[in-house]
Amino acid sequence: MTGKSGQRPQNEHGPSNAHRAEVFLSYEAVVDRLEDAAKQLRGASVLHREGLAILRLGTESAPDINDGRPEVWLQGGLHACEWIGPAVVLRLMDELIRSTELRRRAIWYLLPVVDARGYQRTWAGERFLRTTENGENPNLNFPYRWGEAPPLLSRLLGSRLRGWMGSRPASVGCVKSLVSELKSLTNLQLFLDFHGFGRLWLYPWCHSKKPSPHHMEHKAACATAVAAANRVAGRFGYRAQAAAFTEVPMGGSCIDFVYREIGCAHSYAVELPPSLPWGGVIGATLLGALRGDPKRWWREGQAPTAEVGIEAGDEMAAALSALVDHLFGGTPAATEGDERPAEAVSSAFA
């Protein structure tokens, strides 16, 4: 569509020719965005907790307490180099600023960057740092089924695998801080952990291929989210599956911890765009090896264009809105401060 005013046409979510610098932000710029949002909205504040900067969107009438609304947690940047996660959390923040109706459905917590130290290093020359600055994988360090891995993998990788898991559960600084914050919540009902990449919507378990006790609820909620995202995404669609089927079952994951230990039934990880390469990971690695660079597909996947980042944000805004309707009912709170009915009332595909 072309604007008549002579200006560059704008869609409702931002400039059509976005620059990389407007989508992927340094850590300082991310925190500035949170502080700006907190200034714009009554009931909002930025919590600085042990290395985490979290935007909390409470209610205007009771900013510091929970009036019975469900709590929703949105996070990215558990893996430092996956820049698309923080970009999408900020896009969802903009959606919440824009949509008073959506904002009033829950108490919101937005943590764009979990591993701030690692993320800062990716901006200081180590662009493709996959671990923390100490070489751990935070997503193997959570205190649920920590240390569990298939025996063959343990034998093959040995001390390397143990190094990724960390020395003990929640030994990684950002994991310890995150666990502490999540335990302080009283009514967490939706948890989304954004990662790059592969266009997958992942539900528990991660540590086992057995179905979880909420398998049917997970499938219904994920189907709703994926359908909404795919209406925006078009031909490059997302699909949902249990996390254990993505690679191999592993203990210590964030979503299993939030599901089992925090008691949040709807705990999901989203692998954002781009899609995995044609021919799969092994095919792309072999083809890359023939060309002298086996991991090129992975680096390209971790460094998408600004346009891909914006599309992912639009897709996740649609998915979040659909999920909130699915889980919390289709009718928003009538006025600020009202208690919401406990039961969800909408159907999944209304």
Binding site for Zn ion (CB under 5 A): 79, 82, 195
Whichever of 241 and 347 has its CB closer to Zn ion, that residue is 241
Burial class (CB in 10 A: 0-12, 13-18, 19+), 34: buried
Q: Name which of 32, 28, 45, 53 is nearest 174 in CA terms.
A: 53
The residue to which tokens 């990971």 are assigned: 281
**Nearest distance, CB of residue 141 and Zn ion, angstroms:** 13
Q: Which is nearer to Zn ion, 187 or 246 (CB)?
A: 246
Q: How far is the CB of 176 from Zn ion (least distance, A)?
A: 19
CA-to-CA dists, residue 195 to 76, 131, 287, 306, angstroms: 6, 13, 25, 16
First-to-last alpha carbon distance for the chain, in angstroms, is 30
**Which is closer to Zn ion, CB of 74 or CB of 327?**
74
Nearest one of 203, 214, 201 to 316, comparing CA atoms: 201
Residue 110 near residue 55, CB atoms below 8 Å: yes
With respect to Zn ion, which residue has the nearer C-beta, 33 or 195? 195
Find the shortest distance in angstroms from Cβ 76 to Zn ion. Answer: 9
Positive/negative CA dihedral, 166, 169, 173, 178: positive
Q: Smallest distance, Å, CB 131 to Zn ion?
A: 11
Those residues whose C-beta lies under 8 Å from the C-beta of residue 236, and which sit 6 or more positions away, are 199, 273, 274, 275
82 versus 315: smaller Cβ distance to Zn ion: 82
For Zn ion, give the closer residue by CB, 70 or 118: 118
Q: Which is nearer to Zn ion, 139 or 321 (CB)?
A: 139
CA 206-183-187 angle, 5° bins: 90
- Three-class DSSP category at 194: strand
Q: How far is CA 298 from CA 97, 226, 294, 312, in A?
A: 34, 23, 9, 18
CB of 3 to Zn ion, least distance (A): 38
In the complex, least distance from residue 137 CB atom to Zn ion, rounded to whole angstroms? 9
Q: Least distance in Å: CB of 77 to Zn ion?
A: 9
Of 121 and 195, nearer to Zn ion (C-beta) is 195
> Is the peptide bond prior to 278 cis by the omega test (within 30 degrees of 0)?
no
Nearest distance, CB of residue 298 and Zn ion, angstroms: 12
Contact in structure between 182 and 123 (CB atoms under 8 Å): no
